[in-house]
Amino acid sequence: MTDKPLRFATFLAPSILPVYHFIAEYVGQRLGYATELIVGENFAQFAEGEADIGFICGLPYVQLTRQDPPPIELLAAPVLQGERYAGKPVYYSDVIVHRDSPLHSFNDLRGRSWSYNDPDSHSGYNLTRYWLARMKENESYFNKIIAAGWHQESIRMVREGLVDASAIDSQVLAVALRDDPALGKEIRIIDALGPSTIQPVVAARHLSDGLKADVQALLLEMHSDPVARERLAYGLVERFAPASDATYDDIRNMLATVEAAGLAEW
């Protein structure tokens, strides 16, 4: 057992926190490291040595790779359960409205209110702006845009009729519908944006190559452990798959489209 703990940081939805906590413990036990899981505050924590392994969204991953050198490196990407994902490390942004809403697709949202989780989110923010750019629209497409902070808060706002619609990470939404059966009677999905490459697990550049390789190997193998497989399933994760920088070119290209369209930040 080493003296210095290996610090994991999550920048993703709190509803999946038990899975991230288990992964941190699992890696530590297998490698002989003390580990801890923190909720990340900013992505500079990787460069500053405050975070060693991270669960981050694909959008900040792409933005961090613009630095020279990038402060992080890819380790793996989760593959979600279900035919929808076709065994690939992808996910969707499901557009939800209240069950009683007259809306039926993203194209019906002109002049409606919209909430998003935060500007570091691909599924709730970047992908929405990309869809607007494709439609040759901008933020004025909505009559009101509200920063909710988390996907769960956007779900609550739609459920309570406080906003007309929002785009929710399909993994987060599926977990919410599973854990709260009443939710499915109060909201409905009217569209799906994507698929997009799913949120990666990354390592800080300052970690040794050997340690990064060991963590990566454990991630890619852990679904073969019955206990680990069951714990991953809580977050609807089937397994982890290899990923390269090019795997995230879809998000990179969507971000470039948004920037070229000159869409203002919300």
Residue 4 has pLDDT above 90, yes or no: no
> What's the whole-number mean pLDDT along residues 146-163?
97
Predicted local confidence at residue 2, as pLDDT: 53
> What's the whole-number mean pLDDT along residues 193-202?
98
Peptide bond into 14 cis (omega under 30): no
> What's the whole-number mean pLDDT along residues 179-191?
97
- CA dihedral (224, 228, 232, 238) in degrees, to 10, reads 10
Structure tokens at 92: 């969707």
> What's the whole-number mean pLDDT along residues 148-173?
97
Give, in order, the Cα–Cα distances in Å from 144 to each of 3, 135, 149, 214. 51, 18, 16, 47
- pLDDT tens per residue across span 8-17: 999 999 999 9
Enumerate residues 6+ apart whose C-beta is below 8 A from 45: 9, 51
Length in residues, the chain: 266
Predicted local confidence at residue 264, as pLDDT: 82
The pTM is what?
Answer: 0.95
> What's the whole-number mean pLDDT along residues 60-66?
98
Asked if 96 contacts 166 with a C-beta cutoff of 8 angstroms, the reply is yes
Give, in order, the Cα–Cα distances in Å from 148 to each of 74, 230, 233. 29, 31, 27
> What's the whole-number mean pLDDT along residues 157-168?
98
Burial class of residue 40 in the structure, from the number of CB atoms within 10 Å of its CB (0-12 exposed, 13-18 middle, 19+ buried): buried
Residue 1 has pLDDT above 60, yes or no: no
Residue 75 has pLDDT above 70, yes or no: yes
Q: Order the strands of the 144-147 sheet from edge to edge.
A: 144-147, 113-116, 165-169, 90-98, 187-197
- pLDDT tens per residue across span 206-229: 999 999 999 999 999 999 999 999
